[in-house]
Amino acid sequence: MGKLVSTALEAVTDVPDGASLAVGGFGLSGVPNVLIQALFERGVGELSVVSNNCGAMDSGLAVLLSAGRIGRVTGSYVGANREFARQYLSGELEVELIPQGTLAERLRAGGAGIPAFYTPAGVGTQVAEGGLPWRYDGSGGVALASPAKEVRVFDGTEYVLERGIRTDFALVRAAQGDRHGNLVFSKSARNFNPLAAMAGRLTIAEVEELVEPGEIDPDAVHLPGIFVQRVLALTPQQAADKKIERRTVTS
């Protein structure tokens, strides 16, 4: 049951070039920055990433993106990441944009062993009908477009078929965890981290506070250890290093 690893480099040592990754986080909240930095240091590239967004500034997945290590992104939000937008529009990066709720459910479905499901989100748009630019040709044209998806009617309402997502690895960050992999997430970090963890065939969690098995009330566990294969305990300095995308204050 012991799943502890001693270093971030050890945690990601078998992540190869070309791997698919589900990465937790919501904006800059709950992002597994230490594990991402370890991937950067190892020089891993041509990654296919599934995440709500792709980092911002010099934080999160932006570290790998800016270094040209990511070949494909499946996500919901470009945000203020100018490099993400530049690579996408120039044809350097393949991007599948998905409605946020659909992305969350595709990750959850993959982790639950559900191959596909129907949803009304995207019906009547290019999400269902196809034609969304996945990759540009660098000259303003579309090199690769999304395919059409199956649409069916249930009780008089149209629904589009969406596939569950499974990835080779998942990287997540938890506020608290034990060496068995039971995890607790803080506030908005809970939005995508549990779902990303479920979707990975091998899930690695960095935890801000490591506790002994039994110290977490079973009713307080957000993700059971069955979904987690490796646990990295962060140092106090690593745990405290958190970026703020946009600081808002009142006078």
Count H helices and E strands in the chain, helices first.
8, 14
50: enclosing H helix or E strand: strand 47-50
Its pTM stands at 0.94
Check: CB of residue 227 under 8 Å from CB of residue 198: yes
CA-closest candidate to residue 130, choices 150, 146, 107, 151: 146
In a domain, 52, yes or no: yes
For tokens 């803080």, what's the residue? Answer: 186
pLDDT band at 27 (very low <50, low <70, confident <90, very high): confident
In a domain, 128, yes or no: no
How far, in Å, CA of 109 to CA of 119, rounded? 12
In a domain, 32, yes or no: yes
How far, in Å, CA of 24 to CA of 195, rounded? 8
In a domain, 171, yes or no: yes
Q: What is the domain range of residue 25?
A: 4-115+164-240
Helix (H, G, I), strand (E, B) or coil at 23: strand
How many C-beta neighbours within 10 Å does residue 82 have?
A: 12
Averaged over 113-127, what is the pLDDT? 97
Q: What is the pLDDT of residues 166-200, one digit of tens each?
A: 999 999 999 999 999 999 999 999 999 999 999 99
Does residue 125 carry a pLDDT above 70? Answer: yes
In a domain, 157, yes or no: no
pLDDT of residue 87: 95
Does residue 244 carry a pLDDT above 80? Answer: no
In a domain, 146, yes or no: no
In a domain, 123, yes or no: no
Q: What is the pLDDT of residues 65-116, one digit of tens each?
A: 999 999 999 999 887 789 999 999 999 999 999 999 999 999 999 999 999 9
How many domains are there within the chain? 1
In a domain, 220, yes or no: yes
Across the chain, what does the average pLDDT equal?
A: 95
CATH number of domain containing 220:
3.40.1080.10
How far, in Å, CA of 169 to CA of 138, rounded? 31
Q: What is the pLDDT of residues 131-174, one digit of tens each?
A: 999 999 999 899 999 999 999 999 999 999 999 999 999 999 99
Q: What is the pLDDT of residues 8-19, one digit of tens each?
A: 999 999 999 999
| Rg, C-alpha atoms of the chain | 18
Does residue 124 carry a pLDDT above 70? Answer: yes
Of the chain, the percentage scoring pLDDT greater than 90 comes to 88
Averaged over 222-242, what is the pLDDT? 94
**Count of residues making up the chain:** 251
